[in-house]
Amino acid sequence: MSNRVGVIDYGGGNLRNVLNVLKFLGHEGSLVSSPADLDAVDRLLFPGVGSFGDCVAELDRKNLRDPIVEWIAADRPYFGICLGYQVLFEKSRETPDVKGLSVFDGEVVHFPARPGMKVPHIGWNEVRPVDPAFYVWQDTPDPLYLYFVHSYFPQPADPGLIASTTSYGDDFASSISRGNTFAGQFHPERSQEAGLKLIANFLESPL
């Protein structure tokens, strides 16, 4: 069954790549550039490449902040990728004066400087699900390796939100979930078969 999937247009450069992935998986994807565009979709996917401040500024310019917050509050299906994960929190040390969507309490922080530890964190790393039975992880490899590109990561105030952890220096929350909201710091669209399975699980879950 093909779903109507909205892809948040925040001005980032990887939107076409995500739309192509959706098409490959047999689902209709369309860009969401205004609140009215949300009326035509059943699921929301927020990809992310770029800076926290620029992303939030573009959401505000397009009057998308409140509609996205309301979408999540109504427990409609949402999948956030990288910045689409980070913007769910209150603020980021990348741009401290910019208010995030504040769906969840917490702050986006920078990896600490450590000898021999390169920042940004780029490449494949293991993602350890908290609950392997959770629908997003169904039929994915064990161990699960996904692709990351980031210098910042969220620290949720509520540890109960954490859906997976990943080690880079220390463990960090590589994804969160609550109801029909799922968001992760990794890039499933760049993670080959394992990443495509994550997106497919989200798209095929019951509404």
By annotation, the residues acting in catalysis are 82, 187, 189
Q: Which residues contact 149 (CB under 8 A, 6 or more apart)?
A: 49, 82, 120, 121, 122, 187
List residues bridging with 177 in a β-sheet: 182
Cα 194 to Cα 207: distance, rounded to the nearest angstrom: 23
Helix/strand/coil (H/E/C) assignment for every residue in 101-131 = CCCCCEEEEECCCECCECCCEEEEEEEEECC
Distance between CA atoms of 149 and 134, rounded to whole angstroms? 24
Q: Report the relative pairing of strands 28-32 and 4-8 from DSSP bridges.
A: parallel
Eight-state DSSP code of residue 109: E
- For residue 158, give the amino acid letter: D
Q: Are 36 and 64 in contact (CB under 8 A)?
A: no
Rounded to whole angstroms, how far apart are CA atoms 124 and 128? 13
From CA 24, how far away is CA 193, in angstroms rounded?
A: 12
